[in-house]
A = this chain, B = another copy of it.
Amino acid sequence: MITMEYRISDKMKALKPSAIREIFKALTDPTIISFAAGNPSPESFPVDELARISADIFRDSSTAALQYSVTEGYPALREDVKARLANRFNIGRDFDMTIITSGGQQGIELLCKTMCNEGDTVLCEEPSFIGALNAFRSCGANLVGIPMDDDGVDIDALESAMKSNPRAKILYLIPTFQNPAGTCMSLEKRKAAYELAKKYNIIILEDNPYGELRFAGEEIPTIKSMDNDGVVVYSGSYSKVLSAGMRIGFICGPEEIVQKMVVAKQVEDVHTNIFFQMLCHRYIAECDMDAHIADIRKLYLHKSGLMLSELDKNMPDCVKYTRPEGGLFLWCTLPDNIPQPELIKRAMAKKVAVVPGETFNSDPNKPSQSFRLNYSTPSDEQIIVGVGYLCDAVKSML
């Protein structure tokens, strides 16, 4: 029998598990059609190549692949990342440093730990990625949400938040295929946010897990590609192009900050699984990453197109939804006369799961009329059937 009285830290006492992870765990019923996940399609994993390279590593480099390694990451993979960021995105200057992290998630948490004392502020888009918001909360940071338009955060609101929050240390942005809103920040707003961050001495954390997954429209330069002043820490990941389960991401940012992130990483997990870091490097060296990414884009163009055409056919006009040019998500918004919690309840009764919009708010008690749909995980048939049920649920409330 427990006789102790546990004194949990203030920051963790306040933190709830991610609603999405909890929904994910609840989805053990195989008859449920889930549009709730953020998983890449299993078809995006290059299994045969990874299996072959894995056997090679066990054959020729098993000791290095199973022994302790350096915190910064496998040197050859760091070079690969650096080269791709430079050549493909014009990212990285002499003052920058690139390291490997245990998924994109770790880089987000490490930056917050490195910059924020308890009670410091992180500015974020409203809505934003729940995993990042919870990482900031777990560091004891205070969140201030900035309202968004279709082309990114409201710049006036951003400046007034910067002005009125002298303890703001980080501006967290997902400018490309924003999660959950599915929108892209315009080039003008990217430039404006950069200049404001510079003016108010606030670090931009540019989170870009979906940047390689554009299947329509014109590419927009990343904020990091403009960074000649050491304003931006850029976070990327192999989760959506090679494997999510291996947990490999990367950070590129000013060396003074990234060196401190390395020290923070050292005490979190010493280093990222080294076998899979070697696997990534050899995949990049031996296989055609660009061709593989082109295949994934084709797949998601098809899946998002299918979901959109089913919505176009069956969803009443009063419901608005985004038309994504990349990434994994659609964002739907209900009219005021259809209460979102009741709609989600009716969808769940028909065995369709979605993520309610308030999950992504800086204050999750603030209600939302929106919900998020994922199209990368469900099969084509599940998309057709599930969207049909979802539309039926809306129609039942008209």
B-contacting residues of A (Cβ < 8 Å)?
1-13, 15-18, 21, 24-25, 37-40, 42, 45, 47, 50-51, 54-55, 58-59, 62-71, 95, 102-103, 105-106, 108-109, 113-118, 120, 131, 134-135, 137-138, 140, 169, 198, 201, 203, 228-231, 239, 243-247, 254, 256-257, 260, 262-264, 266-276
Contacts and interface: CB of A to CB of B under 8 A. Distances in A.
Contact of A6 (B66, B106, B120, B257): B257
A37 B11 CA distance: 35
Given A45-B63, A245-B69, A273-B273, A266 B4 contact: no
A267 B135 contact: yes
A51 B55 contact: yes
A343 to B, nearest CB: 26
Contacts of A51: 55, 58-59, 62
A133 B269 CA distance: 14
* Number of copies of chain A assembled together: 2
Contacts of A37: 68
B115 A118 contact: no
A232 to B, nearest CB: 10
Nearest to A5: B201
A106 B269 contact: yes
Contacts of A64: 245
A4 B67 contact: no
